[in-house]
Structure formats: C-alpha cells, structure tokens
A and B are shown apart, each in its own frame.
Chain A
Amino acid sequence: MYGVDCTDCHCGPCDNYRIMPGILRYGSYVPYCRLQRTRLEGGGRGERAIANFDEDATSLAVEAGREAMRGSAPAPATLMFASTSHAYAEKLNAAGVHAALDLPPETRLVDLSSSSGAGVAALALASAIGTGRPSLVCCADMVVGAPMGAREAMGGDAACAFLVGDGEGAAARILGSGSHAEELLDVWRGPEQQFARQWEERFAQQRLVPALASAFERCLAESGIAPSDLKCVAVDSGHRKVGGLFARAAGLRPDQLADDLSGSVGRAGAAHAGLLLAGLLDSAEPGDNLAVLSASDGASALIVQVTEHIGDHRPIHSVADWIQSKRADIAYETYLKWREILPFEPPRRPDPPRPAAPPMRRSERWKYAFVGSRCRTCGAVNLPPQVVCVQCGAVDSMDEVPYADATARIATYTVDHLAYSLQPPVVAAVIDYDQGGRFACELADVDPKKVEIGQELEMTFRRLYTSDGVRNYFWKARPRR
C-alpha cells in the first residue's frame, strides 16, 4: 500500500496516516460523428461530437469502460455510472455497463444522475470509498438541446472511465478533492420535459466563479499544494466565460488553463470534466499535478499527481485520437432524425419485436460481453457459443472465450436498403476474426461507399434498436479507429 506520512508529526503510520487513492486506469470515448456549428442556428465555431443513431449513454459508457478495463485491470468492487441522459429513467443503467464489461456479480452498482456535476462527484466518491478493491467510474452523456438553441450547438456527446483504487502503482495519485454546494437555478429539466432550460448566463457566471474558487481552495488545501504547482487546470462549465474568469480570479497563468474541447467535442455533460482529465493524463508526465473542476449546481474539484506508472496504464486511444477519428459531414436533419426530434417516414418493414427477458438473461455473456466459446477438442471458435462444436461436432467440450477485443476482417459484405434501421442503408458483413471464428453482423460508423473486403474491424457495443422502451444492445463491428 502506498501511504503518505502524517504531515503534522512525520511519525509514519499513526492515527493521521492515510492511504492515498489513485487512478489505476482510465479511458475515454468520443463518438465518430460531428455536427458543424455553422449549420446550426445556435451558431458558434467548430464542431460538436454526436453519438451515432445506434449509441446511447450506456453504449458510450461501455466504450470508455472497455478502454479503462483492457488487459489485466483488477475487477472493481463498485461501478458508478454518471450521466444526465441515462437510457432508462427506471432500471439500473449501470447493470448494462457492468454486463458489457463482463464484471463479476459481486460488484456494487449505482447510477448517479441529474447534474453534469455527477461525473466529478463520482470520482470524488470513488476516491472517498477508499483503496481496498477499486471503484470503476463511468461517465457518459448525450447532450440534446432544443433545436436552434445554444445548448444544442454547444453540447457534446462523449464518455470517460476511471478505475480508482490503491494509489500504489497507480497512473496518478488523487491528492485531494473539494466541493462547494449551492442551490442554484441554472440548468433544469423536469421528468416530462425533452429539453433542458437555462437561466440567464450572467447570473450563473457570477455565482459559479466564486463557487469554483471555493471548491478549488478546499481542494488545494487537502492536496497540500499551491496553484503554481499545477501543471494544468481543466475547467468544465456550461458557460463559456466561466473558465477564464475563474482562472483570473484564482491567479492561474493562462498557460495553466487546459483546452476545454468546446471547439472539437462540445460540453459533454457529466462526462465532460472527466474527459478533460483523461485528455490531460494522455500527455502528462510523471510528477505533473493536474486539477479538474466542474461548475454545475455548485462546484467540485479534484487534484491528481501523475506517477511514473502513467506510461504503463494509458488506454489504446487518447482523447486526441478519438477527436481526430471522425466523420464531419452529418446533415442537421439526419441528426434530428437520430435523436427522434424530427418525425420521419418509418421503413416499410414491421417494427422489430422487443427482445424477451428470459432469453436475454440466458445469453447475457454473449449478448452483452460478446463471450463466445472455443472447442477444447479442435480449438475452433464458436460464435455464438455452441453446445456442439461447429467444426468437429464434439459435445459439451467448450471453454468460454471473450471476443469483444478480437479484431477481424471483412470476408464479404452487402449494403442493405431494405433492412429496418434509423439510418438506412444497413451495411452488413460476414467477418473473419484474426484469432479464428466468423460472425455476421452490422457495421457501425461506416460509410457504405468506403467498405471493402479485407478491411480491418474491431467490435463496438451498440443499441440495435429500441422497442416498447426496451433497449436492444448488442455488438457491431466498426472500421478500426
């Protein structure tokens, strides 16, 4: 266990001795599609990330969670899922993420919602839970504003995930956190309302800057460092000017203030602060102190210190990788259709039936975690898992084999103009895995004109469709990002 000596008596382990938590692993995810702000009434420069038609908060969280949990990450004791756009208003959203990440059944699950401050709150909570078995914090949001409004233009869709536990060997130690609570009418949305509303900007600005300063001060005190010790400070706020005003008030140098990704991603609700932190971790060096602050319904702050282990624990994709991998030409009407804001003519096909609870339960590890089976007799990979081997016919001779991270190539494909989809045509492919096995599935994030046999693919967790309010999640393949 990593500890720090009590700062008062330097006596080593004593009553004041505390074990410092840390960020063991982390991951981020920015969906593939972008909306150009020049095409929006809400205006502004740059672009915002938009989840594809087959993504939702759960699927975004899974993608970020997979990045954080790749390889030999220890299983978390707790999974927290923070979002303001949870797929289900009632039904544990963390359970879907948990199933897709194939985490053990003893995991404690909790959803945190209703404020975009929930992301940093979840991180602080994970840090406070302690350093025994770690906590996985997944934050994902799809910010959908009313058409033609500023929230639509300035919001973003993204996700991040942090595995928080014992600071020894961690990528970053969590030095401290701080909060400032305040009952403030800034952004609100009732359960019956589709879009959030926002009070006059100047009011919130003038309340949030001091709130940030107050949380920051507490956080600095707990961390035992001065503002000048910070390499970078990321400020997440729903108000454009708040970050700059706060930096000035807190006496930060302009070069300490991190890019808030408003021009490339947009503000991604409860995921945004964590996304900024992930971006800082992507390029940080050992010893760097990083602060992340979130101003929403009050303010909260977190300071971490990057360790020498950071290089071993970075995810495959950096935030910059995700931002750079994109399709930028999505039409505004297409986006409105994806969010079901704009009614459209349904396909002349029957609505798909809702998936049934018992078969979903029976095939949970296949459906959610994409776990297939491998024949102990002949080694053939069977997708989906089979009782009798597809290759050699051996009976009950299977081992489970996780395939979510398997890579594949297109064996053959077709562009299906007739299939039911929110975004026809469907590109369907037969894909051969480099590690053996074959599967036929839809392709995601794909331009039908740019598909070719042999193209390299990776698996991605998606919402195939929603029927009777039931989200039908399953896996698709996408061109490697």
Chain B
Amino acid sequence: MPSNGIRDRVAIVGMGCTRFGEHWDRGANELLVEAALEACRSAKIEREDVDAYWMGTLTSGRSGLLLSEPLKTGYRPITRVENFCATGSEAIRNAAYAVACGAYDLVMAIGVEKLKDSGYSGLASAGGTPTDGTQSSMTAPATFSLLAPAYAKKYGLDPDTLRRVLTRIAYKNHANGARNPKAQYQREVPEATIENAPKVAGMLGVFDCSGVSDGASAAILCRSEDAHKYTDNPLLIKALSFIAGPADGAKRQDYDYTTFPEVVASAADAYAQAGVRNARDEISLAEVHDCFTPTELVLMEDLGFSTRGTAWRDTLDGRFEIGGAQPVNPDGGLKSFGHPIGASGLRMMYEMWLQFRGEAGPRQVEAPKLGLTHNLGGAPGRCVSFVSVVGAN
C-alpha cells in the first residue's frame, strides 16, 4: 500500500483524559471541556493558542459546534471526525497531517462519547440512516464471539484451554486497570468470576466484553521541531496507518474468522513507515482494541506479536502482562476503561504519553523504545483498523 508516512515529523506535546465511567452528572460538553483544558495545561498553552481542532464522536453530537460551543473556541476550524470505534485515532491522524503539511502550527485532537444516557445495555444507536430492513441484527458481542470457536478449531484448542486464555486476557486487563486512577473499573476481578459470568453471546460472558462508559481525551500536536517549546518530553509519532477493509467477510467463503485482514494491512503499513522489521522484538508495549477478549487474542497475531496459532500460548505464558516481555494494555484497556467510542483511541495514546514520560506510576513499563496503539471499528470481516507507532526519540 503506498503511504509515505510522517515519521518523526509530528509530536504530541500535551494530553488530557477524563476518568472514564458512568458520569451521570456530566454531559459530553463537560467531558470535552475537562479533557481539552487538561491537555492545554499539560502543554502549558492557552486555548487561544490552538489553531485548529479535530474532534471525534460517533453518537454524542454532530459538527464542530459540539466542541466550539462549550469550550468557547471563538472562530476556529473544528473538524468533526467519525470512523466507527476508531474515531478517536482518526482525530489524531488527521490532526497530525494538518501540522505535518504546515497548514497549522498547533492543533488539538479530541474525542468524546456519552454512552450512558441511552438507557440501553451495550452499544445502541437507534434510528440513523433509513434502510430496507435487511441489515444484520447481530450485536457487537455476537459478531466478535465468532472469533473464539473459529480460532479454537483452526489451532486445535480444546474449549477449556480457550476459556482459560480468554479469562487470562480479561484478568490481566482488569489487574492493570486496578492500578489506573482513570479507569472505569479499578478492581481486580477473580478468574472464577470471569469464567462464571452470565453469557452475552456465544462463549462470551459479561467479563469478556468491554464496559460501557462515558469519557473524553485530548492531545495537543505540533511539528517536532517546535515540540520543545512546550515540553521536554514530547511523544514522537513514528507511524499512522488507517485501513477501511472491503467488508466482505460475510460475503466470501474464504474468510475464516481467525484474523482481521484490515489489522494485518494497517500493521504492515505502520511498520513500514516506522521502520519496524520485527514487531515481536521491537514494540516495547501496546494499547490494543480489546473490545472483547477473543479480539485481543487474534490481534496479538495480526499485529505480529505472536506467530500464527501461538498467541494463546504467549497469553498463558504471561508475555503480555506488565513485567512480561511485551506488555499489552498496561492501562487496563477497553476492559477496564469501557469504550466511549470517540475517546478510546486518544485514551490509548494517553497511556503512551504517560509511559514514555515515565509518569505511569505502578503500571510503568521499563525503558520503552517503541509503543503501538491499535484501534478497531466494525466487526470481524467488516471493519476499519488503525495502527500507530510512537516513541520518545
């Protein structure tokens, strides 16, 4: 895929992130303002210094006015971004390109989602585009649950082993979240609780699914040569890749539900941009889209962290735990944070921001070289995928 990349040309110089959770007392307005102002403080700038904004949300509002009205940004360009669950990452990518090409000097990428006002469990957006009524009614957990039996069948895993692997992923991410004051859930969850939870879809129980929460997160970006005006420890963008797949998994018999080809493609593109040859050795830590436990399992192979058919073993061996060889979702992931759509991609980047500045406290990964964020939208066989590679030097 032809992409030139903007390796090391753009830096993140400030970030903010609200606590994720059930914010019954605050709307999208308040969450946006909190994240934006925290990011400005972090970069030691005033709101007025921001030349332009890229704001991501799936369902919480429309147009740049969702941000300009509460934040009182005056007369500034604000682009509303939407790309399914990868919306937050798309805000970063487009903001980064704007400074890279010189159109603006200092910009903000911000994302928000207010999910808990709907009154429904899970993700639910009624209405929308008028249709002929033939669209699939499968829920998100149902579509992702298809990964588990397919993976087990392809690699000869017995159901008990597969269950242990998925439980381990949920356990790990909750254990990490227990060390994160911004997570929705800040408690470890016993493995027995995870295993015996009521079923949602297929073999997925409640604890195999990410939570539903509200939250916002924001980043300030500029060209790397300007970064030290704002901070001594900028986070450099090494690669940004985004892929919208052909959505043909449910149309072609050759798709087997053990991989996201979109993730494979976006990872290959990102690694080429960043000069990464061996992701298993070179990526120090990763924040990935663990919307459901089998997603994280499959992602480890699609991102090249494990060879095909071995991620389950790497998971059980503790490779992806903090203190393991390649920590994944050290902040607790979607499992602990829930998934306020527009904010999640930025929340992943916020953990990179903390980790590469040595500010991750009890979750700190030692001397990271390269970090990766991965954000997915859609369903197996029908999705969009984002991969970034970042680092301090």
Contact = CB atoms under 8 A, between A and B. Distances in A.
Interface of A: 348-356, 358-360, 362-363, 366-367, 380, 382-384, 390-391, 411-421, 426, 428, 430, 432, 436-442, 453, 464, 472, 474
A348 B141 contact: no
B131 interface: yes
A464 B133 contact: yes
Given A349-B122, A416-B201, 10 more contacts: A359-B130, A411-B253, A412-B146, A416-B142, A417-B200, A419-B142, A426-B137, A426-B142, A442-B137, A464-B137
A440 B133 contact: no
Nearest to B139: A418
Interface string B110-150: 00000000111110111110111110111101110110011
15 contacts: A349-B120, A350-B124, A350-B126, A363-B134, A380-B252, A384-B134, A390-B246, A417-B199, A418-B139, A418-B142, A419-B137, A419-B138, A439-B250, A453-B153, A474-B134
Given A353-B126, A417-B201, A438-B253, A428 B120 contact: no
B202 interface: yes
B321 to A, nearest CB: 29
Nearest to B142: A416
Contact of B133 (A348, A349, A426, A474): A474
A180 B257 CA distance: 63
Contact of B250 (A360, A367, A421, A440): A440
A362 B133 CA distance: 12
Contacts of B118: 350
A415 B136 CA distance: 14
A390 B127 contact: no
Contacts of A363: 132, 134
Given A353-B127, A417-B199, A383 B251 contact: yes
A413 B201 CA distance: 10
B136 A356 contact: no
A72 B127 CA distance: 42
A289 B184 CA distance: 76
A356 B133 CA distance: 8
A420 B120 CA distance: 11
A430 B250 contact: yes
Contacts of A352: 126, 133, 137
B37 to A, nearest CB: 33
Nearest to A416: B142
A432 B251 contact: no
Nearest to A432: B253
B162 to A, nearest CB: 14
Interface of B: 118-122, 124-128, 130-134, 136-139, 141-143, 145-146, 149-150, 153, 198-202, 246, 248, 250-253, 255, 257
B136 A414 contact: no
Contact of B120 (A348, A383, A414, A464): A348
B142 A360 contact: no
A418 B133 contact: no
B201 A414 contact: yes
Contacts of B133: 352, 354-356, 360, 367, 464, 472, 474
A475 to B, nearest CB: 8
Among B120, B134, B143, B257: residue with most chain A CB under 10 A: B134
Contact of A418 (B121, B131, B251): B121
B206 to A, nearest CB: 10
B307 to A, nearest CB: 23
Given A367-B134, A428-B136, A440-B136, A416 B141 contact: yes
A414 B126 contact: no
A350 B142 contact: no
Given A412-B257, A426-B137, A418 B250 contact: no
B253 A419 contact: no
Nearest to A421: B137
B138 to A, nearest CB: 5
Contacts of B149: 412, 453
Given A430-B146, A430-B257, A355 B131 contact: yes
Contacts of A453: 149, 153
A390 B252 contact: yes
Contact of B137 (A362, A382, A417, A420): A420
Nearest to B128: A353
A6 B139 CA distance: 67
A226 to B, nearest CB: 55
Nearest to B201: A416
A441 B121 CA distance: 22
Contacts of B198: 417
Nearest to B143: A414
A358 B121 CA distance: 31
Among A348, A366, A416, A420: residue with most chain B CB under 10 A: A416
A416 B121 CA distance: 14
Contacts of A437: 251, 253
Among A351, A352, A430, A442: residue with most chain B CB under 10 A: A430
A95 to B, nearest CB: 16
Question: 10 tightest CB-CB pairs across the interface, nearest first?
Answer: A355-B133, A350-B126, A356-B130, A416-B142, A440-B250, A414-B202, A359-B132, A472-B133, A418-B139, A414-B145
A421 B139 CA distance: 12
B110 to A, nearest CB: 27
A354 B133 CA distance: 7
Given A367-B133, A390-B246, A412 B138 contact: no
Contacts of B142: 414, 416, 418-419, 426, 428
Contacts of B122: 349, 418
Nearest to B118: A350
A72 B121 CA distance: 49
A415 B153 CA distance: 18
B138 A440 contact: yes
Contact of A414 (B124, B146, B246, B250): B146
A172 to B, nearest CB: 38
Contacts of B248: 390
B253 A382 contact: no
Contact of B132 (A355, A390, A417, A426): A355
